[in-house]
């Protein structure tokens, strides 16, 4: 009975928006599992938090906090691009999704993605997109995504 | 001597930022060559133009106008995503690049992409990304991009 304790887990692993106090709950350390992210001071975090907050619902960072440990164990973000195309349509861009390596297999990634795609839908987006590795494609297919184009990149540093 | 008239062409095909009067110069009709974009009224265009302008350098739409015909013949856009990752880094996202089908082969696409990547660089982005079809990959490689991940999409409409 894998899901017999689902209501408790639902409560325990609730998705919510990032708060400024999450800096002290391991948010940056969690991002380090995804990519390079060293030396972010509390002030730098607060400044960027303020910049993103000023965008309101057009840029949302969500997290899951383990209420037992008080640690941030999953995060993902979405921003809403406003276009002229598609009759002045909007597109949600999902970025920086990571689940703590010690708590994988609990469907936390799926919960995050549902939160983010629901947000895009509620904002009136006609689609939501993301880029991922070949290995993670199957996960996103299970979340309802389909493979479409190829991502190209140019690095400056 | 393919490039003997380059200075004239340079002048004639200058990249500049979108202006509100470009609605009357075929901007929407150009986008229709890329994807679905019908029934954008002058007011809807103006409203979206205002929303994007309020983002300043964080969202730029550029165009090339054919000064002889007074028509917009190429466009592309970029927005700057602000992250916590990469030490509160920034990423440029290029979108909606299209060159009028009647003026292809004049390197206008390359000029647009250079304008957009230069903008990302000047904004302090550590990288610039875009999604494209397999067929357009070679064009972007010539512009200095490398293939990286796969794009996944979920449509709502």
Q: Where are the domains of chain B?
A: 6-142
Closest CA to B79 of A56, A90, A148: A90
Chain B residue closest to A30 (CA)? Answer: B85
The pLDDT > 70 percentage for chain A reads 93
Distance from C-alpha of A125 to C-alpha of B61, rounded to nearest angstrom: 19
Instruction: Return the exposure string of B28-51: e unless at least 16 CB atoms fall within 10 Å of the residue's CB, then b.
Output: bebbeeeeebeebeeeebeebbee
Q: Give the global pTM.
A: 0.93
Question: Which of B27, B48, B129 shows the shortest C-beta gap to A88?
Answer: B48
Q: What is the DSSP letter of A84?
A: S
Q: Which residues of chain A lie closer than 8 angstroms to B132, CB-CB? A: 149-150, 152
What's the average model confidence in pLDDT over A61-85? 96
pLDDT at A94 over 60: yes
pLDDT at A1 over 50: no
CATH architecture for segment(s) B6-142: 3-Layer(aba) Sandwich (3.40)
- The predicted pLDDT at position B1 comes to 41
Q: Do A132 and B152 touch (CB under 8 A)?
A: yes
- The predicted pLDDT at position A112 comes to 97
Q: How far is CA A3 from the centre of its chain?
A: 24
pLDDT per position as a tens digit, A97-153: 999 999 988 999 999 999 999 999 999 999 999 999 999 999 999 999 999 999 999
- The predicted pLDDT at position A10 comes to 63
Closest CA–CA distance from residue B11 to any residue of chain A (Å): 27
Closest CA–CA distance from residue A8 to any residue of chain B (Å): 30
Q: Do B149 and A131 touch (CB under 8 A)?
A: yes
pLDDT at A2 over 50: no
Greater confidence, A37 or B74? B74
Written as six digits, the tokens of A92 are: 């949600």
pLDDT at A66 over 70: yes
Per-residue pLDDT tens listing for chain B (157 residues): 444 455 666 667 999 999 999 999 999 999 999 987 777 999 999 999 999 999 999 999 999 999 999 999 999 999 999 999 999 999 999 999 999 999 988 999 999 999 999 999 999 999 999 999 999 999 999 999 999 999 999 999 8
- The predicted pLDDT at position A8 comes to 64
Q: Do B153 and A129 touch (CB under 8 A)?
A: yes
Q: Do B154 and A128 touch (CB under 8 A)?
A: yes
pLDDT at A77 over 70: yes
Going A37 to A41 to A42 to A43, the CA torsion angle's sign is negative
């Amino acid at each position: 009975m894998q899901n017999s304790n689902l209501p408790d887990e639902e409560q325990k692993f609730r998705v919510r928006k990032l708060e400024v106090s999450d800096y002290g709950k391991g948010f940056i350390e969690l991002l380090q599992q995804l990519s390079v992210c060293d030396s972010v001071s509390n002030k730098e975090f607060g400044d960027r938090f303020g910049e993103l907050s000023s965008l309101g619902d057009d840029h949302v960072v969500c997290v899951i906090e383990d209420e037992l440990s008080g640690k941030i164990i999953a995060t993902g973000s979405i921003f809403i691009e406003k276009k002229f195309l598609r009759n002045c349509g909007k597109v949600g861009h999902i970025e920086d999704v990571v689940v703590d390596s010690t708590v994988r297999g609990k469907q936390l990634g799926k919960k995050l993605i549902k939160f983010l795609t629901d947000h895009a839908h509620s904002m009136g987006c006609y689609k939501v997109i993301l880029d991922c590795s070949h290995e993670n494609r199957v996960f996103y297919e299970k979340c309802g995504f389909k493979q479409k184009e190829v991502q190209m990149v140019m690095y400056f540093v």
